[in-house]
Amino acid sequence: MVGANEKSGLRLWRNARLATMADGAAGFGVVEKGAIAARDGLIVYAGAEADMPASVGQRAETVDCEGRWITPGLIDCHTHLVHAGNRANEFEMRLAGATYEEVARAGGGIVSSVKSLRAASEDELVAQTLPRLDALMAEGVTTVEIKSGYGLDLDNEKKSLRAARRLGNERPVTVRTTCLAAHALPPEAKGDKDAFIDLVAKTILPGVAAGGLADAVDGFCEGIAFSPEQMSRVFDEARALGLPVKLHADQLSNLHGAELAARYGALSADHLEYTDEAGAMALAKAGTVATILPGAYYFIRETKKPPIGLFRQHGVRMAVATDNNPGTSPLTSLLLTMNMAATLFGMTVVECLAGVTREAARALGLQAETGTLEAGKSADLAIWDIERPAELVYRMGFNPLHARIWRGQ
Ligand code: DI6
Ligand code: FE
């Protein structure tokens, strides 16, 4: 560092190649010989070093990036990061030939994660989740969304969301929380889905909202979970509470979850393996982001791919996320997730990188705050030891991160 000037509060990263990911720019929005200046955690300049106001260079504490690439800090916009224990035992059972039903009868499935989470204290949840959060951050993640959904009663959903919020205080990272109380039926509901949806809408969501614990509301719309009609009741309550919605939609079958999400102006509809053209058109019209989750597709050996071609054709924005969860996607690498989105689904490198930056921000309603390298946005940066952006998607199990900057630090 040279020319440090404590008083100006300006920080400058110079001699860098920028992938700004700015909306409307061609490709990555590349700036060769670029520089980024930040003050008070916000980007005040991002562009060609030659065009930078001279005063910035003279007064800033300066980092020479030696030609490295800078991208926006990565954003994992769909995770179930807060959970207790793991389900490696079920994985072994399935490898030995057990069916999902047999696993469930042996006490497995989401319900086993519910039992573990209810037994864990808030401190234990934080302690168990930190290594997963650290793994994401080690690859340049500066914003992460964390869902509840293993508590399934008011106290345990609140405990999960409080743990998620605390993680954002324990580490230099932005945490957005989502209440996914309509995830599965807890054992005490004794098979009565409608009664449980009443509990979610009348007790859990208002309680969570009163504590200011959730930034959004999500649900699992599927034959093995909740119907579109049941999800509508949850979304009506979310709307009454002023909370934006998201939806696990069309993952295992086409219940027209994409249309449902679009009808409620959802921030995102996620998974979407079974979505059809009407669903894609509805998402495009509503401006709802399609969040692509290749980790779950891979781990459960799904064969139906999300209709990326239809999303492109109709101009649906696509985000890419880990879906980190103990049952269907024990994945804590957003870099590997991009490789899967490209290799399994044919997404381009530009789509993958936009999917973990600009479009992931949009899927969280944070597009004005982060996700691109532009003046006015948070100075959330990832600095990489790479020769071209494609290396971030191409490699498997290699981390070329040089430095991670969150809010200018
Ligand atoms: N879809 C999934 O794939 C996960 N949740 C969801 O809504 C499964 C979560 C788990 O098995 O623990
Ligand atoms: Fe999920």
Q: How far apart are CA 159 and CA 139, in angstroms?
A: 28
On whether the CB atoms of residues 145 and 78 are closer than 8 A, the answer is yes
Atom of ligand 1 nearest to the CA of 87: 12
- pLDDT score of 1: 44
Which of 65-74, 103-112, 231-240 has the least mean pLDDT?
Answer: 103-112
- pLDDT score of 4: 46
User: What mean pLDDT is reported for the chain?
Assistant: 96
Q: Which bin fits 66, alpha (ψ -120 to 50), beta or left (φ > 0)?
A: left
Place of tokens 């519910």: 114
Atom 2 of ligand 1 has which residue's CA nearest to it?
328
On whether the CB atoms of residues 350 and 387 are closer than 8 A, the answer is no
Query: Which of 79, 110, 218 gets mutated to test ligand 1 (max ligand atoms within 8 A of its CB)?
Result: 110
With cut-offs at 50, 70 and 90, classify the pLDDT of residue 36: very high
Tell how far the Cα of 257 is from the centroid of ligand 1, in angstroms. Answer: 16
On whether the CB atoms of residues 48 and 99 are closer than 8 A, the answer is no
- pLDDT score of 131: 98
Has residue 121 got a pLDDT over 60? yes
Atom 7 of ligand 1 has which residue's CA nearest to it?
220
Has residue 2 got a pLDDT over 80? no
Tell how far the Cα of 78 is from the centroid of ligand 2, in angstroms. Answer: 6
Tell how far the Cα of 19 is from the centroid of ligand 1, in angstroms. Answer: 33
Q: How far apart are CA 99 and CA 333, in angstroms?
A: 27
Q: What is the 3-state secondary structure (H, E, C) of the chain?
A: CECCCCCCCEEEEEEEEEECCCCCCCCCCEEEEEEEEEECCEEEEEEEHHHCCHHHHHHCEEEECCCCEEEECEEECCCCCCCCCCCHHHHHHHHCCCCHHHHHHCCCCHHHHHHHHHHCCHHHHHHHHHHHHHHHHCCCEEEEEEECCCCCCHHHHHHHHHHHHHHHHHCCCEEEEEEEEECCCCHHHCCCHHHHHHHHHHHHHHHHHHCCCCCEEEEEECCCCECHHHHHHHHHHHHHHCCCEEEEECCCCCCCHHHHHHHCCCCEEEECCCCCHHHHHHHHHHCCEEEECHHHHHHCCCCCCCCHHHHHHHCCCEEECCCCECCCECCCCHHHHHHHHHHHHCCCHHHHHHHCCHHHHHHCCCCCCCCCCCCCCECCEEEECCCCCCHHHHCCCCCCEEEEECCCC
Across 1-27, average pLDDT: 83
Across 114-139, average pLDDT: 98
- pLDDT score of 102: 85
Has residue 198 got a pLDDT over 60? yes
Across 114-127, average pLDDT: 98
On whether the CB atoms of residues 325 and 298 are closer than 8 A, the answer is no
Is any ligand 1 atom within 6 A of the Cβ of residue 87? no
Atom of ligand 1 nearest to the CA of 83: 12
Is any ligand 1 atom within 6 A of the Cβ of residue 338? no
Mind listing the pLDDT tens digit for each residue in 256-272?
999 999 999 999 999 99
- pLDDT score of 101: 77
Q: How far apart are CA 261 and CA 257, in angstroms?
A: 6
Across 25-43, average pLDDT: 97
Tell how far the Cα of 149 is from the centroid of ligand 2, in angstroms. Answer: 10
243 vs 56, residue with greater confidence: 243
Has residue 105 got a pLDDT over 90? no
Mind listing the pLDDT tens digit for each residue in 38-81?
999 999 999 999 999 988 888 899 999 999 999 999 999 999 99
CA dihedral 60, 134, 391, 402 (to 10 degrees): 30
Which ligand places an atom closest to the C-alpha of 116? 1
Tell how far the Cα of 140 is from the centroid of ligand 1, in angstroms. Answer: 25
With cut-offs at 50, 70 and 90, classify the pLDDT of residue 6: low
Tell how far the Cα of 80 is from the centroid of ligand 2, in angstroms. Answer: 6
Q: How far apart are CA 125 and CA 93, in angstroms?
A: 26
Is any ligand 1 atom within 6 A of the Cβ of residue 113? yes
- Sign for the CA dihedral angle at 268, 269, 275, 279 comes to negative
Tell how far the Cα of 327 is from the centroid of ligand 1, in angstroms. Answer: 6
Reported residue count of the chain is 409
Query: Which of 328, 329, 331 gets mutated to test ligand 1 (max ligand atoms within 8 A of its CB)?
Result: 328
Has residue 3 got a pLDDT over 70? no
Place of tokens 């999500």: 218
With cut-offs at 50, 70 and 90, classify the pLDDT of residue 108: confident
- pLDDT score of 56: 86
With cut-offs at 50, 70 and 90, classify the pLDDT of residue 241: very high
Which ligand places an atom closest to the C-alpha of 219? 1
CA–chain centroid gap for 159, Å, is: 20
- pLDDT score of 319: 99
Across 8-18, average pLDDT: 95
With cut-offs at 50, 70 and 90, classify the pLDDT of residue 7: low
Place of tokens 């009609």: 229
Atom 6 of ligand 1 has which residue's CA nearest to it?
220
